[in-house]
Amino acid sequence: MDGDKWKGNTIGASYGYSLDKSNGVSTLVDINGDGLPDKVFRKGGALYYRPQIPTSHNSEVLYGEDVRIVGVSGFSKITSSTHNGGAKSHSWLSVIHGRSRC
């Protein structure tokens, strides 16, 4: 035994819970069907997108004016919860049996 006389026979349990909620702020997705990713974002409780404007320079990316998205109120909304638990017990049993002869 480790010196603690009360640890000889113990039992215990644990439980944990976590909740995580997140809402996306912006993303890139082709909204207008031209094959180019448009900027989608929230503004004032509504969704908007800025269409990507094709350019002749491959490294330059330009976006147009804000366009409100009608019929969709949100995107990328995630809720996650985790439950965990466990149990542990310690049992110490000592049997001493001896015989001495003189």
DSSP string, 2-26: -S-TTTTEEEEEEEEEEEEEEE--E
pLDDT at 65: 96
List, for the chain, all residue ranges whose pLDDT scores fall below the cut of 50: 1
Q: Model confidence over 55-65: pLDDT tens digits?
A: 877 778 899 99
pLDDT at 16: 94
pLDDT at 102: 53
The reported pTM is 0.54
Rounded Cα gap, residues 20 and 18, in angstroms? 7
